[in-house]
Structure 1
């Protein structure tokens, strides 16, 4: 069977009525009015028919999203399918005949694919999406997508240990993001207050499943991170179906957590298929109760630790005092401390012996130097002119008036020369009788002797 081809023909507005569409051979002829003007406006029915026809050309399409607001009334199903990433939603309707042949039950939060056909209701001017088939997205497909995202984020370093922030030892205020009146909130608060009664909370209630979860949890994270009094943030949910936890694997949410300056604890409580938030958070807690235990110290344990530390300190003080007392007793038992004058007497005797040795050394040194000085004096005297005179030698001087000259040879004292002879103890006046040369055996050439009267 050949499909008809849509075409249009222009006619006067007065000649057009709703539903003026006819088949001519293989063509669907849409009677279309000329361009509208203030003087020649289009009837509402014409516009409605044109809108319906153009929408009908889209035909059936398959879409994927999260099922929200799903309800059944009078056998018909009404709901919305929200885009998984963008902020876009379509209202859908499944008639009773379609609902009866659907495989399985559907509820809010389910990830689905649907075959829909847009339909414009001319009379009411509304657009609806007619569901002809509705299916759950396979769990394996979801897991595969999450695993790809997990690997991508891991490759970017968002799960690295070095970027995880340490938790404070004792948080002043804990930021808590959880569902209103949820068991998760009760578990976190009760266990935290049991461990440390003075702990403070700033709680923001958000949806923990469904289409608003990502947006509201993200807004709560930003608000708590901007609060300077909040020291740590706990995101808590009490487990649940795998698909209900999918918002906590949303890429925009986990990337936001990676940028926060406040430590984040993930307490979603799903062991088998944990959400990606567990990997990017600074700490993963298995349950909300575990989160309270990991974030808040136990006052009883801390007091016990303080008591143990105090006991260890006291014991060390006692041991140190005992050790020092033993050392002091050992010192006191020594002779020097038992009889303090003993060491003075001992050192006094050593000082006296040293003094005596010093005096003896000085005396011997003085005696040696005195003997050496005497020897040098004798040697010096022997070498001096006076010493020579004392050995029997004399000095002969020629007297010429007041002038004096030394006689070194017989020729210096001819006859009648007035002489003065100097001895060791005086002078002798004499007169030369003349002289002659005397050869002295062994004497140098020219040595002579002279006669003196």
Structure 2
């Protein structure tokens, strides 16, 4: 067989398929490692290895890839179908099968996937800090006198909030802080708006509103500056971004999440018609209850007035008057008898005292002799000759001298 591997391929001397395949493999081998970007359309894990396909982001082009176990063990993120990635690969052409595959040495998210990964890390961090806890949620005031609104200038969100809130309660007032709601300036301006309204003591509740949008347009409302400004606010805050599929982090930290700006207006401001109807119902219930109570008391008074004691009130007084007179007479009789008994007892006691009194003895002619120092003389020898003696008689006292 003639060696045609180095000869140019012609109609007369064509290359064998193997020669062409080997030349393609050699050329691809010289390419070395390259960085490529694409969307993962297939991701299958078998025996620790990953086999998948990577599709071009704009054109209809797909390449198979392999991630060996030694590389998968070093990956720091999770990957799945639909992820946008960048990869450091080495192309390989399989001569026997005539297929091109790439061996992946490094793999990471990019673009939207990278943003989602970063947002997920921030979400976990804020959740660990407790910023999403239900215990931190502040209740909204029943009827806010003034509402702070952070939104875009001349936006539909601003019109929806103000129109619906005014329809529900015409007296409600607004203070609007305009800010960019998408783009590079949005996060800083929204955070500044929240802080400014929170410092205003006249603001009872803050609404951050935007009329929906795609994921990337809503990224400012997941910015850490906005989320931390909302969590630090002492004024109740309502998030009304209006996007159900992709909830920004502001929804998680807000005291209340509204599905749309219109929903925010309805949940922040009570409906004046409903409240007036409620007042009318309460007034009717109170009137009915009061009427029932008055009728019950009227019937009870009628029953009381029909009783004999109230039909002739003087009868009760007359009966009690007779008893009172009888008890007064009895009390007087007992009091007089007690006085007489005490007078007799007193006279007897006085007589006994007089009989036992030394004065009575003196009145019978006796005398009491005392020395000068007051000592009573009971024996003549107690008094020395010439000593002074006091004599106590019934009529008075005399001085004497012992002889």
- TM-score class, shorter: 0.5 to 0.7
Q: Distance in 1 between matches of 2:278 and 2:171?
A: 19
User: Could you say which residue in structure 2 is the equivalent of 1:85?
Assistant: none
User: Could you say which residue in structure 1 is the equivalent of 2:67?
Assistant: none
Q: CA RMSD in A?
A: 4.1
Quick one: which of 147, 151, 154 aligns to 2:127?
154
User: Could you say which residue in structure 1 is the equivalent of 2:231?
Assistant: 258
Q: Distance in 2 between matches of 1:357 and 1:251?
A: 98
Query: Which has a greater percent of strand?
Result: 1
Change (3 A) 1:341 1:239: same
User: Could you say which residue in structure 1 is the equivalent of 2:148?
Assistant: 175
User: Could you say which residue in structure 1 is the equivalent of 2:57?
Assistant: 103
User: Could you say which residue in structure 2 is the equivalent of 1:75?
Assistant: none
Quick one: which of 311, 327, 340 aligns to 1:354?
327
Change (3 A) 1:175 1:313: same
User: How far off is 1:140 after superposition?
Assistant: 5.3
**Structure with larger Rg:** 1
Could you tell me which runs of 5 or more consecutive residues in structure 2 were left unpaired when the two chains were aligned.
1-33, 37-54, 60-82, 88-107, 358-363, 367-403
User: Could you say which residue in structure 1 is the equivalent of 2:311?
Assistant: 338
Residues 286-345 of structure 1 show CA distances to partners (whole Å, capped at 9, x for unaligned) of: 221210111111010111111122223322332332233234334323444322222221
User: Could you say which residue in structure 2 is the equivalent of 1:267?
Assistant: 240
Change (3 A) 1:157 1:297: same
Change (3 A) 1:209 1:137: farther
User: How far off is 1:219 after superposition?
Assistant: 2.7
Q: Distance in 2 between matches of 1:258 and 1:144?
A: 22
User: Could you say which residue in structure 1 is the equivalent of 2:264?
Assistant: 291
User: How far off is 1:234 after superposition?
Assistant: 1.1
User: Could you say which residue in structure 1 is the equivalent of 2:299?
Assistant: 326
Q: Distance in 2 between matches of 1:102 and 1:333?
A: 102
SS of the equivalent of 2:147 reads strand
**Number of matched pairs:** 270
User: Are 2:84 and 2:112, in contact at CA under 8 Å, matched by a contact in 1?
Assistant: no
Name which of structure 1's ranges 193-202 and 292-301 shifts more when overlaid on structure 2. 193-202
SS of the equivalent of 1:291 reads helix
Q: Does residue 212 of structure 2 align to residue 239 of structure 1?
A: yes
Quick one: which of 178, 183, 196 aligns to 1:210?
183
Q: Distance in 2 between matches of 1:374 and 1:344?
A: 45
Q: Distance in 1 between matches of 2:210 and 2:217?
A: 10
Q: Does residue 278 of structure 2 align to residue 278 of structure 1?
A: no
User: How far off is 1:254 after superposition?
Assistant: 0.6
Quick one: which of 196, 201, 207 aligns to 1:223?
196
User: Are 1:174 and 1:231, in contact at CA under 8 Å, matched by a contact in 2?
Assistant: yes
User: How far off is 1:274 after superposition?
Assistant: 1.3
Q: Distance in 2 between matches of 1:221 and 1:369?
A: 97
Q: Distance in 2 between matches of 1:114 and 1:180?
A: 39
TM-score where L is the length of structure 1: 0.50
Q: Distance in 2 between matches of 1:379 and 1:372?
A: 11
Q: How does 1:271-420 map to 2 (within 5 A)?
A: 271-362=244-335, 364-365=337-338
User: How far off is 1:257 after superposition?
Assistant: 1.5
User: Are 2:230 and 2:253, in contact at CA under 8 Å, matched by a contact in 1?
Assistant: yes
Q: Distance in 1 between matches of 2:356 and 2:179?
A: 127
User: Could you say which residue in structure 2 is the equivalent of 1:27?
Assistant: none
SS of the equivalent of 1:230 reads coil
User: Are 1:178 and 1:237, in contact at CA under 8 Å, matched by a contact in 2?
Assistant: yes
User: Could you say which residue in structure 2 is the equivalent of 1:199?
Assistant: 172
SS of the equivalent of 2:204 reads strand
Change (3 A) 1:370 1:172: closer
User: Are 1:335 and 1:342, in contact at CA under 8 Å, matched by a contact in 2?
Assistant: no
Change (3 A) 1:263 1:376: closer
User: How far off is 1:196 after superposition?
Assistant: 1.4
